[in-house]
Amino acid sequence: MEALRFTAQVLGFSVSSPRSMEKKFDKKFTWVIKDFSSLQSVNILSDIFVVRGCKWQLNAYKGNKVQNFLSLFLEVAGYGSLPSGWRRHARFRLIVVNQRSETLSRQLEGQNWFEEKANGWGFQSMLSLDEINAKDSGFLVNKELKIVVEIELLEVIGKVDVNGFHLLSSEVESVSRMFEKHPETASEVHLKNPNLRTGYMSLLLSLIDTLCQSPHKLPKDDLGEAYYALESLTDAGFKLDWLEKKISQVSERKEKEKDGEIQCQAVKTALQGAGVRALVDERDNYACGWKYADWEMKGVPLRIELGPRDLEKNQVRVVRRDTGAKMDVLRVDLVEKVKDLLEVIQRDLYDVAKRKLEECIQKVETWDEFKEALRLKKLVLAMKQELRLDVLL
């Protein structure tokens, strides 16, 4: 049996058992045909389902393609409205489910290009109608026939229709996710021209990408243009309350970041005025933890952190390099506290170094003690002038 398109041209296919389901598919769709035996239609169409923005449906024939056989095809739904030159490359598996024993299900697999002249692929002799209608065959249960299709979309050429917008394949996932989260976004868009609809959708995607940037990196002009773009999209009928809220949040965060930068510079100026060397790390391409470690390796004794909560409380957080101790200090007390801490750190470091030096000094009075001290890598202090360190020849 061969995978056929409607022009009857043969391409490759494979027949596999229901248990060989190792390969993953993007989508699984189940179609239940009720009162299958009594249906007199030439062909039966399933509901439309979507795989990565591409619309599909199943088409079943009862003995019309091949006498006394169920013919089953996978089709691109609404292909007539797609832009010229569209193509879809897909791997698919069609399964007529045996509802009493999965191992007896009938399944066939194909991998084909779907295009304008070949919008559907499938199998003319999927399963004999006698086998389907046989008593206790397991294919008909309560007069219902169950069909499953699994699809892996391998490649998409041309634009894809998503809610009436013609999109590039790279845009499908983000737009589909947006419509899932905000289904009313384009429900009142009054534009009929497909090119204009696509243009406005591109503007919306660009606006979303802009707002996904860090507020620190977002120029003030871009934020102003974002409001202008939002107004244009709203005038076209888009419902973007959720996006307007996002712009307001970004604007508020940007104002807070700007205020934080001003306050950081104020702290730096105050410390420098008191004779303390200070620097504001304005690098935005490194995480905070990376910058902390960078300055610790350089030996900077104190780190001062200033965040949104610190701004609200008019304080800063001071972290000692030598002990890792953290303390919150009011801004009015910061200069004196830093000067005191630097003296304390200097004294503590000196005391630790002095103690370690003294622990490394060993007093000796005999040759054996001298040799033992050297073995232990100690600094040797000879206490008696008459101690002779003769070397035996």
For 113: left if phi > 0, alpha if psi spans -120 to 50, otherwise beta; the answer is: beta
Q: Which comes out higher in pLDDT, residue 100 or 385?
A: 100
Local confidence band at 3 (pLDDT 50, 70, 90 cut-offs): very low
* pLDDT for 5: 40
- In 3D space, the residue among 271, 273, 277 whose CA is nearest the CA of residue 337 turns out to be 271
Residue 2 has pLDDT above 70, yes or no: no
- Does 334 have pLDDT greater than 50? yes
Digit-coded pLDDT (tens) for 290-304:
999 999 999 999 999
Tell me what the mean pLDDT of segment 369-373 comes to. Answer: 89
State the number of CA atoms in the 13 A half-sphere of 43 facing the CB: 15
pLDDT band at 11 (very low <50, low <70, confident <90, very high): very low
pLDDT by residue (tens digit) across 231-286?
999 999 999 999 999 988 888 888 887 888 889 999 999 999 999 999 999 887 88
Token pair recorded at residue 14: 């494979």
Using CA of residue 173, residue 176, residue 180, residue 186, what is the dihedral sign? positive
* Residue 203: pLDDT over 70: yes
Per-residue burial over 348-358, b if 16 or more Cβ lie within 10 Å, else e, is eeeeeeeeeee
**Element holding 51 (H helix, E strand):** strand 49-51
